[in-house]
Structure 1
Amino acid sequence: MSIDAALETLQGQVGTEVGVSNWIAIDQPMIDRFADTTHDDQWIHVDPARAAQSDLGGTIAHGFLTLSLASRFAYDCFPMMPGQTMGINYGFNRLRFLSPVRPGDRVRGRFTLTQVSKRTDTDLMRTMGLTIEIAGSDRPALVAEWLGLAVFVSSP
């Protein structure tokens, strides 16, 4: 598939939900490993006894842990298009953490394509609305506008 054919296909999907990922379970060991990796060992994340005595009622996952799962969710939803050589995270225009994720929660990503454009002869810029849902909750963990490049083989 050429980049122009991919652009045409994606333009037909603008404004629609284009993917819902599998659920991922969050547990305290995952939160602890993330804290170790990022050196963010704030007690609201890693001290269940202290967090239980707070208004939180227990530990919560780091917002950035929840956000970091977006890449996994994207893998679930967006296989490489024919002719695409890679996908690159380009950043976020907007991001809001709305609800805490607690050990025992399951989360998943829901994607809506909001915009697509040809950035270069090899790159398509996709803008996605991303909502990370918490199973059983009406309020999402986070909402974001995520930018990504789909890189294609250059034309001869």
Structure 2
Amino acid sequence: MVIINNYEEYESHLGKEIGVSQWHTIDQNQINRFADATLDHQWIHVNKEKAEREGPFKSTIAHGYLTLSLIPYLWKQIADVRNIKMEINYGIESFKFGQAVMVDNEVQLKAKLNSIINLRGVTKVVIEATLIIKDQPKPAYVGNVVFLYHFI
């Protein structure tokens, strides 16, 4: 895990990979809970028998937005940003889904610092987020997440 205490330490990672998270297994229970929370009960996510019989993946798959929602959790395993009053998930940009995440796949987030700017005391960073699927050649997605930090 990378520890970042201030703007200068963050900036030292510009253009570089910051790190990768631990592996996280997306199981059917997590998919079902996400379906309940978002009211998205499409059969490809929650009906194992129909997905195996009729689905293109022969398995249930995680919601794309479920995989995106893991970014804050996995990001905290990569970087510990300290000395802040507040951290804001400011936006997501240019995300492309490359491959479905099937039930019981393990995923890992890889993060690279694409840009950093000081906006009158607020640090805005753009992190390139790549969700890797274990033993798969293509990532689940690649895109940019934007965070705002108010350093003390």
TM-superposed CA distance for 1:13, in Å, is: 1.2
1:101 and 2:101 aligned: yes
Determine if contact 2:31/2:66 at 8 Å carries over to the other structure: yes
- State the partner residue of 2:130: 131
> Where in structure 2 are there 5+ consecutive unaligned residues?
none
CA distance in structure 2 between the aligned counterparts of 1:103 and 1:93, rounded to whole angstroms: 26
Q: Percent identity?
A: 33
Larger Rg: 1
CA distance in structure 2 between the aligned counterparts of 1:23 and 1:85, rounded to whole angstroms: 29
- State the partner residue of 1:7: 7
Count of aligned positions: 147
Give the alignment of 1:6-155 within 5 angstroms: 6-54=6-54, 55-81=56-82, 83-121=83-121, 123-153=122-152
CA distance in structure 2 between the aligned counterparts of 1:87 and 1:22, rounded to whole angstroms: 22
- Residue type matched to 1:146 in 2? V
Q: TM-score, normalised by structure 2?
A: 0.92
Three-state SS of the structure 2 residue aligned to 1:36 is helix
Shift >6 Å, 4+ stretches: none
CA distance in structure 1 between the aligned counterparts of 2:78 and 2:19, rounded to whole angstroms: 5
- Residue type matched to 1:19 in 2? G
TM-superposed CA distance for 1:93, in Å, is: 1.7
53-62 vs 106-115, which moves further:
53-62
- Residue type matched to 2:139 in 1? P
- Over aligned residue pairs, what C-alpha RMSD do you find? 1.3
Per-residue CA deviations over 1:73-122 (Å, capped at 9, x if unaligned) read 111112122x212321001121111111111100110000010000122x
Determine if contact 2:6/2:151 at 8 Å carries over to the other structure: no
TM-superposed CA distance for 1:142, in Å, is: 0.8
TM-superposed CA distance for 1:127, in Å, is: 0.5
TM-superposed CA distance for 1:66, in Å, is: 0.6
Determine if contact 1:115/1:128 at 8 Å carries over to the other structure: yes
Q: TM-score, normalised by structure 1?
A: 0.89
- Residue type matched to 1:77 in 2? I
